Amino acid sequence: MIFEILAVGLIISAVLALFLDEVIYSVAALAGIFFFTALIFIEYNAIFAAIFTFSVGVGTLAVLFLSGEMLGDKPTKKTSPKRVGTLIGVGAVLSLPAIFLSVSGSSGTNSDLLFGDALWNIRGLDVVLQAFVILTVALGIVVVLYEKKKKGGQ
Amino acid sequence: MDFVILSLVMLAIGIYGLLTNRQLLKVFISVELIATAATLNFVMLASALGVGLGQALLILAFSTDTAVSGVILALLVIVSKKYGTSDISKILQTIHDKDESEVEA
């Protein structure tokens, strides 16, 4: 029952995030997506996944609130409550397949592999290398934005 | 395994948004939705099977997702500053007008 409620909330948030006219409200709905995703992970006992989702979500939302306010075009008309209600209804309808349909498959194949073991013993090299990937991307973004600023200043 | 349908619905919404939205920030949100759908399917399948490796691999998926988000946002800032709008139709129109004026000149 809890999964169904969270699924409905997730899909309604997704529909609102995509189809609301004002960017700031879309970003607020995106916060709902991250929130419901993390709750679904908690319900499936994936606590670490929930923590990562929360932390990545908070970072993404902070950046998006700033860039959404700075870069988003102002909509010509405000979103009416009727439109919001319609979008919520569409989201609820779209969530019906997730509630009533199910894919059969094997489950409960418990293995002894714990999260910490899997992270450091099997994927240890990946974990270290992805830190370098993120660092390289961050440096690349700084270089791109700096070049742009330099060209703009000339 | 209810989550497979849930992630399929999320994926469908994300792809629909990617194809129909003209705002660059909405396109970015669509990409985030598609990434969330993939993550949901991946982690919940691993959790349903009781395998810890799924959550460990999630970190890799998140780092890739974060890197993609960073690059998209940097490009979005550059394009918005250059053309003064984040509407794809207006940007394409500006480029088209510029090309036409160059040809006429």
Domain membership of residue A110 (yes or no) is: no
Q: How far is B83 from chain A (nearest CA, A)?
A: 11
Task: Please state the domain count of chain A.
Answer: 2
What pLDDT shows up at residue A75?
66
**Does the pLDDT value for residue A105 go beyond 80?**
no
Please report the sign of the dihedral spanned by the C-alpha atoms of residue A31, residue A34, residue A38, residue A41: positive
For residues A67 and A124, state if they share a domain: no
CATH code that applies to domain B3-104: 1.10.287.3510
For residues A34 and A76, state if they share a domain: yes
**Residue range B17-39: average pLDDT?**
88
- What residues have CB less than 8 Å from B11, skipping those under 6 apart? B33, B34, B37, B38
Q: How far apart are CA A98 and CA B87, in angstroms?
A: 33
In a mutational test of the B interface, the residue from A36, A45, A60, A69 whose CB has the highest number of chain B CBs within 10 Å is A60
Q: Which domain covers residue A140, as residue numbers?
A: 116-154
For residues A5 and A78, state if they share a domain: yes
What pLDDT shows up at residue A119?
66
For residues A97 and A120, state if they share a domain: no
Q: Which of B61, B75, B3 is nearest to B32 (CA)?
A: B61
Q: How far is B101 from chain A (nearest CA, A)?
A: 23
What amino acid is encoded at B62 in this protein? F
For residues A31 and A96, state if they share a domain: yes
**Given an 8 Å threshold on Cβ–Cβ distance, is B1 in contact with A105?**
yes
Query: Rounded to the nearest 5°, which phi and psi values hold at B10?
Result: -60, -45
The overall pTM is greater than 0.90: no
For residues A78 and A38, state if they share a domain: yes
For residues A83 and A150, state if they share a domain: no
**Does the pLDDT value for residue A22 go beyond 70?**
yes
- For residue A83, the tally of other CB atoms under 10 A from its CB is 14
Q: Between A49, A94, A122, which is nearest B53 by CB?
A: A122
For residues A15 and A81, state if they share a domain: yes
Domain membership of residue A109 (yes or no) is: no
ipTM of the complex: 0.84
For residues A69 and A128, state if they share a domain: no
Domain membership of residue A108 (yes or no) is: no
Domain membership of residue A111 (yes or no) is: no
Q: Average pLDDT, whole number, for chain B? A: 82
Task: Identify whether the C-beta of residue B34 lies closer than 8 Å to the C-beta of residue B18.
Answer: yes
For residues A79 and A134, state if they share a domain: no
CA distances from B43 to A47, A98, A123, A145, B9 (A): 11, 17, 16, 34, 16
Domain ranges of chain B: 3-104
For residues A122 and A96, state if they share a domain: no
What pLDDT shows up at residue A95?
81
Per-residue pLDDT tens digits for A120-142 = 666 677 777 777 887 888 888 78
In a mutational test of the A interface, the residue from B1, B4, B5 whose CB has the highest number of chain A CBs within 10 Å is B5
Domain membership of residue A107 (yes or no) is: no
CA distances from A111 to A114, A115, B48, B101 (A): 8, 11, 11, 66
What pLDDT shows up at residue A72?
65
**Given an 8 Å threshold on Cβ–Cβ distance, is B52 in contact with A118?**
yes
Domain membership of residue A144 (yes or no) is: yes
Q: Average pLDDT, whole number, for chain A? A: 79
Please report the sign of the dihedral spanned by the C-alpha atoms of residue A71, residue A74, residue A80, residue A83: negative
For residues A16 and A73, state if they share a domain: yes
Lowest mean pLDDT among A94-98, A127-131, B21-25, B46-50: B46-50
**Given an 8 Å threshold on Cβ–Cβ distance, is A115 in contact with B52?**
yes
